[in-house]
Amino acid sequence: MVLAAGEGRRLRPLTELVPKPLCPVANVSLLDRALQRLAAAGITEVAVNACYRADDIVEHLADRPVRVSVEAPPALGTGGGVARLRDWIDGRDVLVCNADGYLADGAAAARSLLSGWDRRRFRLLTVHDEARGDFGTPVRTERFAGMSLMSWRQVCALPAGTSELQVPWRRAEAAGELDLVDFAGVFVDCGTPRDYLAANLHASGGTSVVGAGAEVAGRLVRSVVWPGATVTAGETLTDTIRAVTPTGRPLTVHAIR
């Protein structure tokens, strides 16, 4: 299951134009990157939940063999989104994938998460991050990298309505029943313009990214130009995302202030 229901508030005003999962990273949407990594790992049955700008998600997936679960606002949260699909899950175990994270070599990350799982314990993908750890007391350096495994029994234990997966994860951690699988690759949580830009530059090999139909007459330095946007002659964009509003006005987001 791919979680794609959130508002992406920290990425505004970009997410006022499109939902965060449809923001492009090196001209491939975060949602498509998530679906590609699951397909490459051999996962053929996928559901995606949607809430904020759900029509955009539904339209984007219209020709895909994907189950779309549309939640009425407010979103049900990471746990509630899974629980709402219990009838579809129907006795199976679930790999849960955040749509808003960039994972370099994501298929390898998915395969490493699946390898050797006992189908009983919560299992989470992590990366080493000296600046931010999510687990342990005192806190260690493992940071959650946007993918987790849960058994059908754990799915059944989720409450109906709004809930977050962090609650049963913490219970499992306290009971010594949480597995962390370290991933040596690059993970970027694209929550802020700074991190979103970093993901684009990593995916592009460090060069600026120009979307389809964009017109660039100016100079780009470590920047991203969305499809259809314009950079006029004499402009220099540095560490910037340039998009275009539905009315055709340029939208400029400085990723590093």
Is 65 exposed, middle or buried, given 0-12, 13-18 or 19+ CB atoms closer than 10 A? exposed
> Tokens 């090196």, residue?
26
Determine, yes or no, domain membership for 185: yes
* pLDDT on residue 133: 74
Same domain, residue pair 80 and 175: yes
Determine, yes or no, domain membership for 77: yes
Same domain, residue pair 147 and 240: no
Same domain, residue pair 129 and 159: yes
- CA gap 204, 27 in Å, rounded: 9
* pLDDT on residue 92: 95
* pLDDT on residue 257: 64
List the 178-182 sheet strands across, edge first: 67-70, 47-50, 2-3, 94-98, 142-150, 122-128, 178-182
Same domain, residue pair 147 and 230: no
Low-confidence ranges of the chain (pLDDT < 70): 137-139, 257
Same domain, residue pair 175 and 218: no
Tokens of 250: 């340029």
Instruction: Check which CATH number belongs to the domain holding 160 and give it.
Output: 3.90.550.10
Determine, yes or no, domain membership for 197: no
Strand-pairing partners, residue 188, are 102
> Tokens 């299951």, residue?
1
Predicted TM-score (pTM) of this structure = 0.93
* pLDDT on residue 139: 66
Same domain, residue pair 109 and 73: yes
- CA gap 79, 168 in Å, rounded: 9
Same domain, residue pair 53 and 164: yes
- CA gap 236, 74 in Å, rounded: 40
Same domain, residue pair 178 and 237: no
* pLDDT on residue 106: 82
Tally of domains within the chain: 2
Eight-class DSSP state of 22: G
Determine, yes or no, domain membership for 132: yes
Task: Return the closest-CA partner of residue 196 out of 69, 65, 102, 96.
Answer: 102
Determine, yes or no, domain membership for 200: no
pLDDT tens for residues 78-91?
A: 999 999 999 999 99
- CA gap 51, 125 in Å, rounded: 25
Same domain, residue pair 154 and 223: no
Domain membership of residue 65 as a residue range: 2-189
Same domain, residue pair 181 and 224: no
Same domain, residue pair 48 and 125: yes
Same domain, residue pair 158 and 117: yes
